[in-house]
Structure 1
């Protein structure tokens, strides 16, 4: 098992997802991220059933950077209580681990 995580959240628009991805990655909180969607979402909110479209944003980071990434996502998210989840990566190539660790331990300019 590695020290790497995939961290995910969802947003109501593609633009919001892109902004979260760019801000977290340029801050060095994640080495990379992907935006996917839209996805159909079904949920309970304030005691009512709802449904809509959301965009998923997933990030690759280290366990050591998780708390900072979570705080960043919550602070910059337009929802008051956004979902932020993390899943440990059980197997990852050594070169990929090195890249994620290198990126998340130093702030890197857009050129990477």
Structure 2
């Protein structure tokens, strides 16, 4: 639903997809591939961040670079597959969070950016 002031609310078909990498360069390379292939409309590399986790039965702490990518539900499976194929880790975190509200124009731009017809 879009309000009179251009604000979209309710469940949209847009997603924020997150992963992390050991280096900024790897995060940027994944972002460039995803955006270039129109699997994501845009991406943000944030970091470094400190992560605390369980891995191979032990608690760990490490420095990572967070990668946020923006796409639609229709493109998620392809984006996930591309990230998993190109990520240097054996079992990287790849999660998606629904975007439940946002600027109607921005969400329309995102949907158009990742449309299979985009860039033709």
TM category, shorter? over 0.9
Structure 1 unaligned blocks of 5 or more:
none
Deviation at 1:107, TM superposition (A): 4.7
Structure 1 residue runs of 4+, over 3 Å off? 106-109
Spell out, residue by residue over 1:18-59, the C-alpha distance to the aligned partner (whole angstroms, 9 max, x if none): 000000110000000100000011111111121110000001
| TM-score normalised by structure 2 residue count | 0.87
Q: Give RMSD over aligned pairs.
A: 1.2
- Output the TM-score relative to the length of structure 1: 0.93
- The answer for the alignment partner of 1:99 in structure 2 is 109
Check whether the contact 2:112–2:118 (CA below 8 A) recurs between aligned residues.
no
Contact 2:17/2:96 (CA < 8 Å) preserved in 1?
yes
Corresponding residue number in structure 1 for 2:49: 39
Is 1:49 aligned to residue 52 of structure 2? no
For 1:72, the equivalent position in structure 2 comes to 82
Where does structure 2 lack aligned partners over 5 or more consecutive residues? 1-10
Q: How many residues align?
A: 109
